[in-house]
Structure 1
Amino acid sequence: MSNYLAIDGGTTNTRISLVKDGKIIGRVVKEIGARKSIEGNMLLKSVIKEGISQLLLDNHIQNGEIDRILASGMITSEYGLMEIPHIIAPAGISEFHSAMVELVFPDISEIPFVLGPGVRMDGRCFDTVDVMRGEETELFGLMDALEPEKAYILPGSHSKCIFADVNGRISYFFTSLTGEMFFALMKDTILKSAVACENQVDVDYLIKGYDFCEQWGLNRSLFKARILKNVFQCGPLEIYSFFSGAVLHDEVKSLLNLDVKEYVVAGKSQLRNPMEILLKRCSDREVTVLPDKLSDIAATVGIIRIYEYGDETI
């Protein structure tokens, strides 16, 4: 059985996992991603090199014991290590496997890297063209097979809603800038003094935020977070929940308009949990929520599945 280092490069974080004999035995998470590499990738390279060295040292493993470094996500974008062209949907695991690129980054490691591509919606219609890097790998790690008539929802920095055709290939998807909107509004506006990130949600205030946005729109709803703090002296959880309901409103509304029988929701619990609450409250369709333990390892499992696809000898 092969041993790998698997890198999941996101917009805000880079996760490096050590996989030995099919089991994840170590992981490091670095708080640097594509957002901090817009001006150049030297820091990203340095952080990845440091993370790899740390994992191998801590687990008493030599470079020669690792077969490949498998990388996916924004690390294969123009703000990553090297830009790998998107493949065109519809695309399944076979197409992703065939489009992988192997090369060595000697300033990082002597171990060969294998970079996975993202996927792009083709066409001339502005409404439907979209791109994705990383979430496709996560989805293949979450699901043994993709099914039509389901919407696969992966909340995150760039939240994705993904659909499959009858052959189990990714056929269509669209993106919302949800996670980055949360981050930007909380860090770089006057709401910084009012909204603090919480790991739980107050259901009543989440729904209040959603309903207020439904009636008055996002712009007006956002300022109400400040009103809740300064006028009504609400607590951090209530304010954050109202804020979350407002920010998630447009994305949830777009999901409610879909002609599907089931929503399958995974991803980070911070966004996944309020998404689940709102979908169950606003829709009578089935909502299936995948647990944290699956979401946490999905990108690692997915990139290995893609790399090993069709190889009976691995």
Structure 2
Amino acid sequence: MSSSNWTFSHPSTFSLVGIPGLEDAHVWISIPFCSIYILSLVGNGLLLAVIKTEPTLHEPMYLFLAMLAFADLIVATTTVPKILCIFWFRDHIIHTDACLTQIFLIHAVSTMESGFMLAMAFDRYVAICNPLRHSAILTNWVIAKIGLGIVVRGAVLLGPHPFLLKRLPYCTTNVISHTYCEFMALVNLACVDPTPMSAYSLAVAFSCGGLDFVFIVLSYILILRAIFNLPSKEARHKSLNTCSSHVCVMLVFYIPAVFTYLTHRFGHVAPHVHILIANLYLLFPPMMNPIIYGVRTPGMRQRALHILGIRSA
């Protein structure tokens, strides 16, 4: 280890391995990674353009969806370009400040994504359980305050992460067996007991994503109870259809997130499997969210085709 990289056990750079055990296949693995990233950029950019230019979509659900799309773009752009540099150019080195910034953005913005999904669930709850007051409750001012509150919560609760990591002594190695900088990956490199930091991270994760998921489930229990009390089958089907896109997006986000979090802390899976799932958690939702809403929302699909200059059948 060169002395230029180390000063009193605090490295100036870290080295990202990529996917351990699959180094020879990095070029091939980069093909789906790059394709997913391009689809995420195009899909979320188009989704934002559609919501901005289509007045009928200036509703709470789609405004929260626009916030989610913007967060998806940040998460994808924070991670994929560096991953592709590792895969294509074997550029494994990342400056410590860039690594800590990546950690903050990944965790803080992922927390914001969870909050936006909770806001979307709240919108569906009000729209179905109290439809006559929907527009009065979720005004543009209220939507803006909810969005700002979600952003502030993510920034404040995850803000200490990089500062805590920077103070840790890394006295053994600066090599991270991952494709991107991750909080627990750096904690496990430090020559200190990781238990307190792991407990802190777990508490923050539960107070954000865990509680968000609990409240989303409670919202849908109340929503389903209201739907099944509707008098006609047609009304029940229409109400369920308005929730289906959000449910799909929620499952795409939370299932990989829970699996990644639990296996990283408690599981015993092969490193390359864990890292592939961790990347899936970051890359798959940004690609799928625009597809889910584009397919299931006729107005959005038609507007997207119009922007692209494609005539719908």
> Normalising by structure 1, what TM-score?
0.31
Structure number with greater CO (CA < 8 Å, separation at least 6) is: 2
TM-score, with length taken from structure 2? 0.31
